[in-house]
Structure 1
Amino acid sequence: MVLLVGPQAASAAELVLFESDTCEWCERFHKEVGPAYPNTAEAKCAPLRRVDIHDPRPADLTHIKGIVFTPTFVLIEDGQEVSRLVGYPGEDFFWSLLERDLKKLHRPCAAP
């Protein structure tokens, strides 16, 4: 088994989740979406990467500014921010908003 930590080198896009240990909405996301996400078409297109806002920012994400609230989801392609979702609107809205944002990528993804 291979465990990837940090940026997903094999993928040009990733969904970065800025979170904190005290974030109730982050916990809700992890309960409602977290278990299923790695097995979805969306994850194949944009793997989830978790970043604690209280830890030093990883070097490849220092250009992402304005992260104040958790959760904040930032869709990144080739190191550049494509879209941002501040907050977690619940499972149904999350999937539809993510689908909308994945359409903004320059490299097409498989339809979810």
Structure 2
Amino acid sequence: MTRFLAALVLALTALPAAADPLRLLMVEKEGCVYCAAWDRNIGPGYAASDTGRAAPLMRVDIHGPYPDGLALARRPFVTPTFILLDGGSEVGRLEGHMTPQQFYPALSALLDEAR
């Protein structure tokens, strides 16, 4: 029985990190003109894009509350800030306003690094 439990624990702890979903956390604040520009220019098509399917969007106000269990490199201070999360841990970050022509390639590069 002890060998079975040890094998089970080993199997559970050896799950690949890819088992945790990638998510994109958008840190925003009310009245942010750059957040509104993202909502207008990128937001409508994000969920249907390749990057949107790879990293679904979650939103949080810069003042919180933040989801439990996040491990961020540092507290965001610019809005919008986009934090790529792998199972709750930050693996990349984009800060500030970007056009769609800047945003998608930058996020794709973060996704490539995370995989």
Fold similarity call, TM over 0.5: yes
**Which residue number corresponds to residue 32 of structure 1?**
41
How far off its partner does 1:11 sit? Answer: 6.1
Pairing 1:5-84 to 2, within 5 Å after superposition: 12-61=21-70, 63-64=71-72, 65-84=74-93
Alignment partner of 1:98: what SS?
Answer: helix
**Which residue number corresponds to residue 95 of structure 2?**
86
Tell whether the 8 Å contact from 1:17 to 1:74 is kept in structure 2 after alignment.
yes
Is residue 103 from structure 1 mapped to residue 112 from structure 2 by the alignment? yes
Structure with more helix by fraction: 2
* Structure 2 residue ranges without an equivalent (≥5): 1-18
Q: Give CA deviations for 1:21-52 in whole Å, capped at 9, x if unaligned.
A: 11110000000010001111111110011111
RMSD: 1.6
* Structure 1 residue ranges without an equivalent (≥5): 1-9, 107-112
Which structure has the larger Rg?
Answer: 2
- Structure 2-normalised TM-score? 0.77
Q: Distance in 1 between matches of 2:75 and 2:62?
A: 11
What is the count of residue pairs matched by the alignment?
A: 96
- Structure 1-normalised TM-score? 0.78
